């Protein structure tokens, strides 16, 4: 199918069990340029497993996963490395290297890129500064993660995830444990990244508002602010490009638009809808 060719990441009937627990169960979906999937689900429902499987950090028991059009299931770690380096990932709890400075943390993916024409030290410095400027943390270059607040560490994690300008970024619980204002700042950065670079995003979250923001706002380059997208008609692409998954015991038990989520009747799915 031609639409599969364009998918940056594609799952076909992917399943994984740990013992007798399903971490992924018959998961199928495709994600294309500029598209966002908000992934909801109870603790242990498979959200992190899904993100890790998407970049080959976990090999499923069955099914097929393609990343940037190439099958990654049952590939050697070596072959996976280059492909994985083309995707950005914000790990749950940020997972910064504690003993490395902010600069070294953000530089890390650039040094890991396998390229015919490696970046010079100067170019790397430029890219690191640009990524940190994007999250408004350029002044923290030489600090250690322990010297930053939780929200700042999350922003450094985002800078590290986007520094290679990846076409696909996976965000694992970017707003977890943050106060609402900081959480909104983080989501605004994620929306800006999507709109400035047409990035495809998979976003795991527990907050309904995070999905609302991705669906209802877009970054306006003129004013450098998020602006609401029209309710209907006109330029409502953000809304159409943002879809929601609800996971339960490894399975995607709901997939659809925000409106469809609001109308869901299943009590488990309703837990993640607007009340
Ligand atoms: N490496 C592993 N070994 C054994 N079991 C695992 C492993 N990784 C995940 N699991 C199990 O797989 C299931 C899904 O875990 P996962 O981390 O994907 O959940 P999650 O939806 O991200 O949860 P949370 O919201 O708490 O982050 C859980 O039952 C978990 O215990
Ligand atoms: Mg998780």
Kindly report the pTM of this predicted structure.
Answer: 0.92
Q: Is pLDDT of 234 > 60?
A: no
The Cα–Cα gap between 159 and 156 comes to 5
Give the residue, 1 or 123, on which the prediction is more confident: 123
Task: State whether the beta carbon of 96 lies less than 6 angstroms from ligand 1.
Answer: no
The Cα–Cα gap between 258 and 239 comes to 8
Average pLDDT of 67-77? Answer: 90
Tell me: the pLDDT tens digits for 192-229? 999 999 999 999 999 999 999 998 898 888 888 888 88
Q: Is pLDDT of 5 > 50?
A: no
Tell me: the pLDDT tens digits for 13-55? 999 999 999 999 999 999 999 899 999 999 999 999 999 999 9
Is residue 166 within 8 A of residue 199, CB to CB? The reply is: yes
HSE toward the beta carbon, residue 113, CA cutoff 13 A: 21
Q: Is pLDDT of 271 > 60?
A: yes
pLDDT of residue 75: 86
Q: What is the 3-state secondary structure (H, E, C) of 158-197?
A: HHHHHCCCCCEEEEECCCCCCCHHHHHHHHHHHHHHHHHH
Task: Please report the DSSP string for 142-156 in residue order.
Answer: T--GGGS-HHHHHHH
The Cα–Cα gap between 90 and 161 comes to 6
Is residue 214 within 8 A of residue 38, CB to CB? The reply is: yes
**Ligand 1: which of 14, 45, 171 to mutate, judged by most atoms within 8 Å of the beta carbon?**
45
Q: List the Cα angle 80/83/84 in 5-degree steps.
A: 80
pLDDT of residue 275: 66
What is the percentage of the chain residues whose pLDDT exceeds 90?
Answer: 67
**H or E stretch covering 26:** strand 21-31
Ligand number with the minimum distance to the CA of 50:
1
Question: 50 CA distance to ligand 2 centroid (A)?
Answer: 9
pLDDT of residue 237: 67
pLDDT of residue 1: 42
Q: Is pLDDT of 4 > 70?
A: no
Residue 223, SS3? coil
Task: State whether the beta carbon of 47 lies less than 6 angstroms from ligand 1.
Answer: yes
Q: Is pLDDT of 2 > 50?
A: no
pLDDT of residue 94: 75
Average pLDDT of 111-120? Answer: 81
Is residue 257 within 8 A of residue 243, CB to CB? The reply is: yes
Which residue, among 263, 265, 262, 264, has the nearest Cα to 274 in the 3D structure?
Answer: 262
Q: Give the confidence band of 235 by pLDDT, cuts at 50, 70, 90.
A: low
Tell me: the pLDDT tens digits for 25-35? 999 999 999 89
Task: State whether the beta carbon of 48 lies less than 6 angstroms from ligand 1.
Answer: yes
What is the chain's mean pLDDT, rounded? 90
* All residues at 6 or more sequence positions from 4 whose CB lies less than 8 Å from its CB, including other chains: 10, 30, 66
Average pLDDT of 62-76? Answer: 92
What is the percentage of the chain residues whose pLDDT exceeds 70?
Answer: 95
74-83, 157-166, 196-205, range with the lowest pLDDT = 74-83
Tell me: the pLDDT tens digits for 120-140? 899 999 999 999 998 889 999
Which residue, among 248, 181, 174, 180, has the nearest Cα to 204 in the 3D structure?
Answer: 174
Query: Which residue has the CA at smallest separation from atom 5 of ligand 1?
Result: 18
Question: 2 CA distance to ligand 2 centroid (A)?
Answer: 32
């Amino acid at each position: 199918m031609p639409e599969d060719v364009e998918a940056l990441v594609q799952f076909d009937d992917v399943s994984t069990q740990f013992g007798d627990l399903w971490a992924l169960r018959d998961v199928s979906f495709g994600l294309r340029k500029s598209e966002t999937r908000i992934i909801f689900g109870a603790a242990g429902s498979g959200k992190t497993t899904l993100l890790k499987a998407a970049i080959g950090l976990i090999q499923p028991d069955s099914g097929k996963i393609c990343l940037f059009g190439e099958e990654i299931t049952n590939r050697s770690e070596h072959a996976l490395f280059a492909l994985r380096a083309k995707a950005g990932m914000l790990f749950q709890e940020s997972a910064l290297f504690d003993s490395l400075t902010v600069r070294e943390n953000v530089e890390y993916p650039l040094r890991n890129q396998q390229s015919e024409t490696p970046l010079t030290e100067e170019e790397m410095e430029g890219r690191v500064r640009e990524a940190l400027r994007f999250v408004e943390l350029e002044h923290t270059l030489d600090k250690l993660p322990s010297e930053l607040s939780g929200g700042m560490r999350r922003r450094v994690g985002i800078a590290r995830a986007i520094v290679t300008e990846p076409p696909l970024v996976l965000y694992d619980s970017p707003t977890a444990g943050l106060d609402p204002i900081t959480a909104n700042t983080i989501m605004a950065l994620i929306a800006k990244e999507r709109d400035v670079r047409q990035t495809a995003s998979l976003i795991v979250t527990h907050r309904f508002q995070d999905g609302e923001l991705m669906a209802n706002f877009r970054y306006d380059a003129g004013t450098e602010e998020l602006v609401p997208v029209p309710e209907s008609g006109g330029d409502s692409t953000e809304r159409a490009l943002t879809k929601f998954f609800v996971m339960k015991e490894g399975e995607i038990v709901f997939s659809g638009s925000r409106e469809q989520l609001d109308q869901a009747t299943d009590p488990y799915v309703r837990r993640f809808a607007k009340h």
